[in-house]
């Protein structure tokens, strides 16, 4: 039996929160259909922004736990997605596939579309191996200096 995952857009999950810089949208991104590779999870109103993706058999699909080393891009479309398990979308979505680009690593999702934990270090290594690589920064946190 398929389970359904519904995630709504939380504060801080917009394209500008993840993508800090890019050379050119036409160079850094591709527009492609996306496949839900899950064996059991249906996506309904799901916000996949920042999810890792890989190219498999000519089709882009979400990376699941254990397959992080094959990540070849980051899902960068802000539209909410409804997609049954094992199905490829009819719509085209934006995917960041190469640098030079800078991404905020703190804004990337910690879990895959099934809710399983992603190994962030492996993902970052895969992204840095792209040609040219995608670079990562962490969000700067303002500090307060107390003076007396």
Beta strands in 23-118 (DSSP E): 29-32, 34-35, 41-46, 52-56, 59-62, 73-75, 81-83, 93-96, 101-104
Rounded-to-integer distance, Cα 147 and Cα 29, Å = 47
Domain boundaries, the chain: 11-137
What is the pLDDT at residue 11?
42
Nearest-CA neighbor of 62 among 81, 79, 25?
81
Q: Tell me the average pLDDT of the chain.
A: 86
Sign of CA dihedral 41, 42, 45, 51: positive
Could you read off the pLDDT of 4-22 as tens digits, one per residue? Answer: 544 444 544 678 788 888 8
Length of the chain: 148
CATH superfamily membership of 11-137: Head decoration protein D (2.40.300.10)
pTM of the model: 0.84
């Amino acid at each position: 039996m398929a389970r359904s995952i519904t995630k709504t857009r939380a504060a801080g999950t917009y394209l500008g929160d993840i993508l800090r810089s890019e050379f050119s949208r036409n160079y850094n991104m591709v527009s492609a259909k996306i496949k839900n590779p899950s064996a059991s999870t249906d996506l309904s109103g799901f916000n996949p922004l920042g999810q890792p993706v890989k190219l498999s058999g000519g089709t882009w699909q979400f990376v699941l736990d254990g397959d992080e080393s094959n990540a070849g891009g980051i899902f960068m479309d802000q539209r909410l997605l409804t997609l049954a398990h094992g199905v490829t979308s009819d719509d085209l979505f934006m995917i960041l596939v190469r640098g030079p680009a800078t991404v905020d690593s703190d804004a990337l999702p910690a879990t895959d579309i099934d809710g399983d934990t992603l190994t962030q270090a492996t993902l970052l290594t895969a992204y840095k191996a792209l040609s040219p690589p995608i670079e990562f920064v962490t969000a700067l946190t303002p500090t307060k200096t107390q003076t007396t």
